[in-house]
Structure 1
Amino acid sequence: MSKDLIPLATADISTFARNLNRHLASGRTPPSHLEMLNHLARASGFRNYQHLRAAHAAQARVEAAPEPTADFKLIEKTLHQFDTQGRLIRWPGKRQVQELALWAMWARLPAETPMEERDVNGALNLVHLFEDAALLRRSLIGMGLLQRNLDGSDYRRTEQRPPPEAQALIREVSQRRKP
């Protein structure tokens, strides 16, 4: 057996104890070491001990993965599209600059708040200077950053983690907004 330390956490100890008791009550003799590991793993929501080990190993690999680096040249190009107040001056000509600029627009929309079309337009009009909120709204929907009902009555920002370039741009644009 492996000597790797594998933490076991449970959200509800009562459910864990109930599941463990049910698994232990099914046999007449005391369980072997491996059977006990399987019972503990099942009680905490895994299929068996190997599933618990595999999940822990996958989590360790994901946490150890290097953070992707940002394309600072693209961030700089996109940042030139914003004024000193953090407003988009003009609609960029290049698609990748447009998409990155849309992340900055997305960040200015309220999170987890249903909005009507006029609310979205109002929020977008505050962050751009070329008077085309419909273009921005449609582009945000097209990129999957904004969702709406089929009848267009309810808009909602799609919550997701921005890519590294977008995170850096959002940070820079928000610093420009500060007096």
Structure 2
Amino acid sequence: MTLVPTLPRALPPRALHALAALLLCAWLAWLGLASGDYRQALRTQAQAQPTRPPLPTALPAPTLDATAVALMFGAMPPQPDAHEEDPGMPLTLLASLRAEHPDDSRALIASPGGSAFHRPGERLPGGALLRSVETDHVLILRNGREQRLGFARPAETLLVPMVTPAHSPETTP
């Protein structure tokens, strides 16, 4: 037979509940007093600190380098078109961004004065008018004639495939 020790009941359950309620009230009162002290400390600290200077206004957006943007799209740097018939201002197509709605399309066109994005209907440097933007070319109206302006073809490639000589079987006498 095992004996289970029993603890004598020191306080009745109602007394324990009353003690717990009293401790809870004491704890809440302590928190209330501490929060008042904390608020007072914050007020004195805020009064002691000097006011902060106003935040700077928005910085101007950096300008984009049109040549770097064109290279990002795989276009070549500006090169004058050799096949252009008009001796007017040389224009080079660097990038074309074709959208479903023609007014949302853009073309990056370089001229001797620099390069910029243009949309259909805008005047280009030299007085030409951008008529339409396609994925591989743009149509411009120059001196009353419509001209196709395509991407400049690279004069040479950076990686040229090596030509290996044909192997012929060697004959031994």
Q: Please confirm whether the aligned pair reaches a TM-score higher than 0.5, indicating the same fold.
A: no
Higher CA-based Rg:
2
Larger fraction in strand: 2
Higher relative contact order (CA 8 A, sep 6+): 1
